[in-house]
A = this chain, B = another copy of it.
Amino acid sequence: MISAKSLVVALVAVVFCGASFAQGPTDTTFARDSVQIRQVFDEVLMHAQAHENLRHLCKEIGHRLSGSKSAQQAMDWGLDVLRDHGADTTYIMPVEVPSWTRGSVADAHAILPNGQDMALHITALGGSDPTPAGETIEGPLLVVRHLDALDTLDATGHIVLFNRAMDPLLINTGAAYGGAYDQRGNGAVAAAKAGAVGVLVRSLTHALDTLPHTGSMRYAEDVSRIPAAALSTVDASALSKAYAQARERDQTVVVRMRMDCADLGKVMQGNVIGEWRGSTHPNEIITLGGHLDSWDIGEGAHDDGSGVVHTLEALRALRAIGYTPHRTLRFVLFINEENGNRGGKKYAEMAASEHEAGLRHVAAMESDAGGFVPRGVRMDGPDLQVAMVRSWAPTLEPYNLHYFGRGGAGVDIGPLKTLEPRPLLVGLVPDGQRYFDLHHSSQDVWENVHKRELELGAATCATMLMLLDQHLPSPSN
């Protein structure tokens, strides 16, 4: 008779080994994968250049907004490192990108009903127009939490503050960011439609700090382009409180703001690409990438210097362990993720034309969620392929890689979705609890990236690339 205990143990064994039934890696495959994965992690943890590469990118080059001179320097550097790390072909894929400058002034104050002057920590949202002629504008403050609150309010002449905090109850900070993003992306349009002359947006971070966190915003045709700035969370809370107190007494808080940011037109830059030609299926392409551009405050260390050096390190490490790729592996440092995604769109356009020429993009992976300790990957693609990746879980568990969810894999690789047959898109998922503390702020600097966590992320990217190369089925058309 089988004891209850044996039964439980047997069932647990099924559960914990069951993943390998899904796509049928045999014991031999499991063993071979495990050995290769260990080689990758050993190589990276012993010899990684990721941390030093990141130091160079952050400290010698610095932040690198699309269109800037430093973005061009980063492209030149990326090309050199791709060559040095073993790409057998390197090239720039030209992309026309916007050029915008933050200028030298971003100043704001609130004047409280008692005459008190409250200095506000702001910075322009990326792409914002300056205040007219770079002069100070002034208007009564209106605080709202949701865009649609403006549907029924007259904000004529006002400066609007959107003050909805990221939801702390969402475990996934990325989801909390997504849930508050509309204020930054569409706040200027909504406020302008209601008659406002300027807009402040509570910085998208869980951190209570005095740092404004910038990011992209957009204008709409036929809606007036009003200046838009990020306001630190500490200031946003204080200002909102002062506003509520003033309203109780039918008094007004006045905000003055001034910014001299400027649109400088278009510039040709590009995606930086290194290829490692496949040995048996060179016409099938697997892409790994991060984005080279960053916002122009801080150093873009987590966003997305980490993704850049993950990509470079994956190439270096796979070369170092003597790996021979079946498919052509393409290492891509995308341009312009932050304010337009023109690099990602251009790459997908090229992929479509390559398809015509007989090349097949079977998978693409992106690292654009920071250099924190990796948790696993997020996937967007056909059920069968998602199931296959999940079947690798037992070989990845020793590296604390447990997460194999579905979801957006990355902004740069997102446009590849339009290809047919659709490639599997994979996004690295580092732990996200600290990411938005630094994101798009002056604190996203090299010192705030942990060497070993960065390396574990790089090893995870290299591992996934290797497993995708070895196990993904070839497309039938």
Contact = CB atoms under 8 A, between A and B. Distances in A.
Interface string A6-46: 00110110110011011100000000000000000110011
The majority secondary structure among interface residues of chain A is helix
Most central of A5, A11, A375, A453 by chain B CB within 10 Å? A11
Given A15-B15, A18-B11, A22-B8, A171 B431 contact: no
A298 B38 CA distance: 36
Nearest to A3: B384
Interface in A339-392: 373, 375, 383-384, 387, 390
Contacts of A402: 375, 402-403
B21 A383 contact: no
A168 B45 contact: yes
A133 interface: no
Contacts of A77: none
A456 interface: yes
B206 A452 contact: yes
A38 B172 CA distance: 14
A42 B169 contact: yes
Nearest to A393: B15
A136 to B, nearest CB: 37
Given A18-B14, A431-B431, A375 B387 contact: no
A402 B21 CA distance: 20
A398 interface: yes
A14 B21 CA distance: 10
B450 A387 contact: no
A4 interface: yes
A9 B387 contact: yes
Contacts of A12: 19, 22, 387, 390
Interface string A294-326: 000000000000000000000000000000000
Interface string A397-428: 01110110000000000000000000000000
Nearest to A434: B450
Nearest to A390: B12
Contacts of A251: none
A89 interface: no
A433 interface: yes
A327 to B, nearest CB: 22
B8 A45 contact: no
A70 to B, nearest CB: 29
Contacts of A384: 4-5, 8
Contact of A169 (B8, B23, B45): B45
Nearest to A429: B400
A23 B11 CA distance: 9
A46 B168 CA distance: 7
Contacts of A42: 169
A329 to B, nearest CB: 25
Contacts of A41: 169, 171
Contact of A8 (B18, B387, B398, B453): B387
B403 A403 contact: no
Contacts of A46: 168-169
A18 B21 contact: no
B383 A171 contact: no
B45 A399 contact: no
Nearest to A16: B390
Most central of A5, A12, A373 by chain B CB within 10 Å? A12
Given A8-B22, A45-B168, A433-B452, 4 more contacts: A11-B21, A11-B22, A12-B387, A171-B398
22 contacts: A8-B22, A8-B383, A8-B387, A9-B383, A9-B387, A11-B18, A14-B14, A14-B18, A15-B18, A15-B22, A15-B390, A18-B18, A41-B169, A41-B171, A42-B169, A46-B168, A171-B456, A206-B452, A375-B402, A400-B403, A400-B431, A433-B456
Interface of A: 4-5, 8-9, 11-12, 14-15, 18-19, 21-23, 41-42, 45-46, 168-169, 171-172, 206, 373, 375, 383-384, 387, 390, 398-400, 402-403, 431, 433-434, 450, 452-453, 456
For the complex of A and B, the 9 pairs showing the least CB-CB separation, nearest first, are A402-B402, A15-B18, A8-B387, A12-B387, A11-B22, A12-B22, A11-B21, A373-B433, A45-B168
